[in-house]
Structure 1
Amino acid sequence: MQDSSTIEAQAPVTQKRSRSLINKLMNMSDRSMAWLFIGPTVVILLLINIFPLLWTIYLSFTNYRANQPTRDIEWVGLRNYERLLNSEDIWGYLQVTAHFVCWTMILQTIIGFGLALLLNRNFKGSSFFSTVILIPMMLSPAVVGVFWTYLFQPQTGIMTYIINFFGNFGPVDFIGNVDLAPWGIVLVDTWMWSPYVMLICLAGLKSIPPSLYEAAEVDRASTFRKFWSITLPMVLPFLLLAVLFRFIENFKMFDLVNELTSGGPGSITELASINLKREAFEKWRTGYSSAFAIILFVTVFGAGNIFVKVLNRVKNR
């Protein structure tokens, strides 16, 4: 135990060190202070993201199976990639994914932009309708999948009643029908995420200076001319940003489609992400599925770079 005299002697030293540390912090530049706070977070995030990526790249060159001992790992080189790129089934899954991504992007862009134009008019109750329209995107994709599964029931689902309102088509099975199932998942994803595109486009519309429209009114420009020369160019960067986000999310879509169809009937709605899950966690072909994951990552990364370059060109006009 230290006596009181020793503690009293150490107190001024401790206080001096504390004051020195405070003075150093007070004299730090804003940039240094910012790195002091965000530096540890950046390091942790890099470790969390980079290590799994490097580990996945390594496993993609092996025959590793997660349900077998690690001592059985063998280096197979590019064999996994060759099997993937020469597999007709894999190209079929990518084609299904491309169909889903293209149609959802087209429909969500048109519907979202149209809703944004309507809500930008600031009519009575526009704030209320904006909030109501945003509700689908606030729900969990798994919840939306279960919800629409009941709506798609051929005997009791509301979709059958809606379609039969326009004619006697009988029970309509959006999930079990080979022709309708791909459009069923497109419909649900469009219903859920069109509000997201609307929100970004609405932000772009609100940022347009009213003086531009006032000048166009003085020049007696038509409504179409104002839309084509002012509205569309000004909101186009926001629209492209929304398309970029939706492309990335839809390319790796899993939970919504898994709840709706689980890739069925057959494999007509089996997206690349669903097949990746089957290979990794049902067949335990970890090395093979890691190679598939890297191919999907490179595809999304390359397409994302193209979108970013186009976006930069539009912004710099």
Structure 2
Amino acid sequence: MSEKTVDRVARATPVRIARKIRGFSDRTIAWIFVGPTIFLLLAINIFPLIWTVNLSFTDFKANRINRAVEYVGTRNYERILNDPDVWLSMQATAHFLFWTIFFQVLIGFTLAWLINKKFRGNDLWTTIIVLPMMLSPAVVGNFWTFLYQPQIGLFNYVVAFLTGKDPSSFEMLGSVDLAPWSIVIVDTWMWTPFVMLICLAGMRSIPDYIYEAAEIDRASKLRQFFTITIPMVLPFLMLAVLFRGIENFKMFDLVVQLTGGGPGSTTELASIHLKREAFEKWRTGYSSAIAIILFVTVFGLASIYVKALNKVKER
């Protein structure tokens, strides 16, 4: 902005307002700009959390708002800890979390290492690999539901070709044993590019002179990989694990599109169990307690993990 424009704006400002503005400190002006954002965060995040905590100690039901609400203390939490369905959903969530993160880290790091070699067509392959991450979970769910169909699904024919069995015998979404793996495969396909990009950023942040110094010391490529690449990429890799762990712990839309939480409770993750308690059984107070337990679990594990991540960065 030119000095003439500034001077013109200053002259156009009413004297009474100009005097007030001139009397504001830098801190006051900063609060004028930051205040609305803080208020919005409190209204959207903090207030619903406090309200949920309050509901978790009651027997409130959202479909019967005229019903008298009774304060039940910690009864909801006690029932949750003794509810086998809750523990089954947590077990399904743990299974989903472990295998998705394992495969995404393994495949994502490998792809990042290969793409970092900067071969011919590097940019084209990077774009192709990243495409699944750009799709909506609803689109991905419908797309893979079609691929998993026993009669016309391409996935079944590929598996049948590799195993020599009848394609119609593979009921991925209807099988108790295979349904959990079906959502692991889809989530890995969709989000491995995310891990790859973070690992690739870590690899390309390593200065070339470190590898040059290692070559002067006659370090082999394998030794360079384990003593330079992995230690320096590890903070980036741990960051990717943190992001994917938080997201997959609250995974909902993709699983609903693929299996709806079935068959049985094999793919009923904690978020799906919470949805059924809240919007199918209308046990709002009980489901609020589940939500608080999930929040405390994620927050506690993430806090411990961040401390470990900071220690790795300080090395």
TM-score w.r.t. the length of structure 1 is 0.91
- Deviation of residue 124 (structure 1)? 1.6
Aligned pair partner of 1:290 in 288, 291, 294: 288
Partner of 2:65: 69
Deviations 1:133-171 (A, max 9, x none): 111111111111111000000110001110121232112
**Residues 230-249 of structure 1: pairs in structure 2 closer than 5 A:** 230-249=228-247
Partner of 2:179: 181
The question of whether the paired residues in 1 share the 8 Å contact of 2:88 and 2:265 is answered with no
Partner of 1:311: 309
| Residue identity in the other structure for 2:64 | Q
CA distance, structure 1, for counterparts of residue 70 and residue 18 of structure 2: 59
SS of the residue aligned with 1:76?
coil
Aligned pair partner of 1:198 in 190, 196, 204: 196
CA distance, structure 2, for counterparts of residue 14 and residue 236 of structure 1: 55
SS of the residue aligned with 2:141?
helix
The question of whether the paired residues in 2 share the 8 Å contact of 1:64 and 1:70 is answered with no
| Residue identity in the other structure for 2:131 | I
CA distance, structure 2, for counterparts of residue 181 and residue 49 of structure 1: 34
Partner of 1:79: 75
Query: Mean alpha-carbon deviation: is it higher for 226-235 or for 165-174?
Result: 165-174
CA distance, structure 2, for counterparts of residue 127 and residue 120 of structure 1: 11
The question of whether the paired residues in 2 share the 8 Å contact of 1:134 and 1:195 is answered with yes
CA distance, structure 1, for counterparts of residue 55 and residue 214 of structure 2: 60
Partner of 2:165: 169
SS of the residue aligned with 1:68?
coil
CA distance, structure 2, for counterparts of residue 196 and residue 13 of structure 1: 51
- Deviation of residue 39 (structure 1)? 3.1
CA distance, structure 2, for counterparts of residue 58 and residue 216 of structure 1: 59
- Deviation of residue 84 (structure 1)? 0.4
Partner of 1:266: 264
CA distance, structure 2, for counterparts of residue 166 and residue 200 of structure 1: 33
| Residue identity in the other structure for 2:14 | Q
CA distance, structure 2, for counterparts of residue 243 and residue 176 of structure 1: 30
CA distance, structure 2, for counterparts of residue 42 and residue 177 of structure 1: 48
Query: Mean alpha-carbon deviation: is it higher for 15-24 or for 215-224?
Result: 15-24
CA distance, structure 2, for counterparts of residue 244 and residue 61 of structure 1: 31
The question of whether the paired residues in 2 share the 8 Å contact of 1:63 and 1:287 is answered with yes
SS of the residue aligned with 1:166?
helix
Partner of 1:3: none
SS of the residue aligned with 1:215?
helix
Aligned pair partner of 2:87 in 82, 85, 91: 91
SS of the residue aligned with 2:181?
helix
CA distance, structure 2, for counterparts of residue 48 and residue 70 of structure 1: 26
Q: 1:125 and 2:121 equivalent?
A: yes
CA distance, structure 1, for counterparts of residue 18 and residue 83 of structure 2: 68
Deviations 1:161-219 (A, max 9, x none): 10121232112111001111111110000000000101111111111111101111111
CA distance, structure 1, for counterparts of residue 30 and residue 127 of structure 2: 36
CA distance, structure 1, for counterparts of residue 12 and residue 39 of structure 2: 34
Partner of 1:141: 137
Going from structure 1 to structure 2, the CA distance change for 1:127 and 1:32 (only over 3 Å counts) comes to farther
Deviations 1:222-263 (A, max 9, x none): 111111111111111100000000000000000000110011
| Residue identity in the other structure for 1:275 | H
Aligned pair partner of 1:58 in 38, 44, 54: 54
RMSD: 1.8
Deviations 1:50-80 (A, max 9, x none): 0100010000000000001255110000110
How many residue pairs get matched? 303
CA distance, structure 2, for counterparts of residue 304 and residue 108 of structure 1: 19
CA distance, structure 1, for counterparts of residue 163 and residue 271 of structure 2: 37
CA distance, structure 2, for counterparts of residue 222 and residue 66 of structure 1: 65
CA distance, structure 2, for counterparts of residue 58 and residue 265 of structure 1: 34
The question of whether the paired residues in 1 share the 8 Å contact of 2:147 and 2:154 is answered with yes
CA distance, structure 1, for counterparts of residue 222 and residue 42 of structure 2: 48
Partner of 1:20: 19
